[in-house]
Amino acid sequence: GAVVSQHPSRVICKSGTSVKIECRSLDFQATTMFWYRQFPKQSLMLMATSNEGSKATYEQGVEKDKFLINHASLTLSTLTVTSAHPEDSSFYICSASWFGRGAHGDNEQFFGPGTRLTVL
């Protein structure tokens, strides 16, 4: 497989502040990174897809001005939650892919361990 890390693993912040979450592919270069959100006892919901050097593509209903995504290098993508509010509290998961790296020689997504965001 391939290793994807996220930092921090857990963050607590006050309402109105901004929080940045990092997603790194440790042993491969990722042309595409994905950001998901997971509410308790619910499935992962894709928020956005980012390709290195390009603007992220956001899913319908996701506020691009609130969830800023930067994919500046082949190993790093960041998600910034701006002016966070309690309803933004959630588990944020990233994944990364590179064509040919997957078990079937495809662009399988490799997932990070997630970041738990709590907004007070």
Choose among 103, 97, 100: nearest CA to 30.
97
Q: Which is nearer to other proteins, 14 or 41 (CB)?
A: 41
Smallest separation (angstroms) from other proteins to the CB of 26: 12
- The verdict on 92 binding other proteins (CB under 8 A) reads no
Binding mask 3-42 for other proteins (x = CB under 8 A): -x----x----------------------x-x------xx
How far is it, in rounded angstroms, from Cα 47 to Cα 36?
A: 5
**Cis omega before residue 113 (within 30°)?**
no
